[in-house]
Amino acid sequence: MIESDNRSTGSVYEMIRDDIVSGRLEPNARLKIAELALRYRTSTNPVREALQQLRGEDFVQMEPNRGARVRPIDEAFVRDIIEIEVLLEPALTKWFVSIANEADIAELEAVQAQIEENDFADRVRHGELDTRFHQLIYDRHYNRHASELWWKHREVLRAISRRFATSLSRRQAVLREHRTLIAALRAQDAEGAAAIVAQHVEGSGRHIIEQMGAAKRIIPRRSPA
Amino acid sequence: MIESDNRSTGSVYEMIRDDIVSGRLEPNARLKIAELALRYRTSTNPVREALQQLRGEDFVQMEPNRGARVRPIDEAFVRDIIEIEVLLEPALTKWFVSIANEADIAELEAVQAQIEENDFADRVRHGELDTRFHQLIYDRHYNRHASELWWKHREVLRAISRRFATSLSRRQAVLREHRTLIAALRAQDAEGAAAIVAQHVEGSGRHIIEQMGAAKRIIPRRSPA
DNA sequence: AGTAGAAAAATCATACATGATCTATTCCGC
DNA sequence: GCGGAATAGATCATGTATGATTTTTCTACT
């Protein structure tokens, strides 16, 4: 246990989930019931239930009689998610083109301005802004399922990204693609916007996977359970 | 409670899930913990945990202090799932084209022969065969995430379908599309196969939604909670 | 290294306290 | 008497606690 936390706000589920997504609980970390119960100042029952819910959401893996672990995230996992996002996000974007009004696009531009102003200096802030940028596009979709699926994937990817810095070339690509996307949206070019988003997602995935590969070569990997 | 079940095989989670997917627990049915504990001959703790896991998988909905219900399934829900499948399944199919060998296609044809032989006479059997048909295509995909997502959606859709009969025109379309799909796969025509699958999924979704609409007009709907 | 035994941990079963919600009856003003 | 508000009791979800049992994990010894 890293820190004996005594936050008392929010459900146990939310707190554990938060700790996983934010990285305070590392990938593959063992999640002992008694320990978590202490950490979140509850009894074991809520912890068990939270873990089961997280298991259902695939944030946690469980083996019979061997308890729970934070879902270990490897390159294949990221690739899988990205492949789905490459399909999903362009489709969500296309629909956004048909409903976006001037105010929506102005808001996108405002966020983009903040992203450029921050210019990757504050990594956490960039993550938040970038998420908000895409969320503006996806969150209003009528397909709640698709939108929530995106969000779930997003959170996982963000949890990974926060461990790595963004390469210079990737920074450039991100800014460029965001700008191009805004232009396409403004021009009501659904196909163009979708194509850029696909490229954006793919690039993001490739970047993360490369970083993971690089990190693995430096940090000696724990034997995987 | 309909039946006092005393099956003792499998985890409580599996049994509840099974009862939901198979329809023994109706959509929107209230899931009382004490009742389920009796039904599955366990204590309340495993039931509570199973419900949380199912909640994470979205088979069950929960409201604070008001317990759990079997996820009510409406047209919007089906539409959402289908929209995702329209993206997912063609992509999975394309990949299948690149790895399928003669034996794979022969197996598809064998299943298709059984489907045609059964000719929708036994509804449950048709559901099984149809699932197996598509499973042959998707299950070997390297993207476990996508494959599992398909499977989850499939189970839900099957649970709905089993309540309705298949219209004559839909029967024809299913058989035709399966045959065309096999032909495209054999011809290594990835794009063609993908297009047919997209059409197949969309048609299936449309059919289900129509059936649901029709049923609603006959069966007076319970006030939705 | 391999292993026996100890400690830790998961899992399940109860029992109970508390508080929210639902139901149905009572009660009041009209 | 009638409709609706107030309320008392039943029902249920949720959290806590504790013990039994089994499996896994750790530790110390050969």
Q: Measured between alpha carbons, how far is residue B106 from residues A3, B103, B109, B182 in Å?
A: 58, 5, 5, 9
- pLDDT tens-digit profile of A76-129? 999 999 999 999 999 999 999 999 999 999 999 999 999 999 999 998 899 999
Residues 6+ apart with CB under 8 A from B41: B6, B8
CATH 1.10.20.140 fits A9-70, yes or no: no
Residue carrying structure tokens 């979709």: A141
pTM over 0.85: yes
- For chain B, residues classed under CATH 1.20.120.530 are 75-217
Burial class (CB in 10 A: 0-12, 13-18, 19+), A162: middle
Reported CATH class of domain B75-217: mainly alpha
Helix (H) or strand (E) holding B94: helix B75-99
- pLDDT tens-digit profile of B11-54? 999 999 999 988 899 999 999 999 999 999 999 999 999 999 99
Among A12, A75, A87, A152, most B C-beta atoms within 10 A, so best to mutate, is A87
Contact predicate B136/B107, CB 8 Å: yes
A64 touches strand C (CB under 7 A): yes
- For chain B, residues classed under CATH 1.10.10.10 are 9-70
Torsion angle, CA of A34/A37/A40/A43, rounded to 10 degrees? -170
B1 touches strand D (CB under 7 A): no
- pLDDT tens-digit profile of A135-156? 999 998 999 999 999 999 999 9
- State whether the Cα torsion A187-A195-B92-A60 is positive or negative: negative
Cβ–Cβ below 8 Å for A84 and B88: yes
- pLDDT tens-digit profile of B120-153? 999 889 999 999 999 999 998 999 999 999 999 9
Cβ–Cβ below 8 Å for B145 and A45: no
**Residue B31: left (phi > 0), alpha (psi -120 to 50), or beta?**
beta
Nearest to A91 among B79, B80, B87 (CB): B87
Residue type for position B154? R
Chain A residues at the B interface, defined by Cβ less than 8 Å, are 45, 48-50, 52-58, 76-77, 79-81, 83-84, 87-88, 91, 142-146, 149
* CB contacts, 8 Å: A145 with chain B: 77, 80-81, 83-84
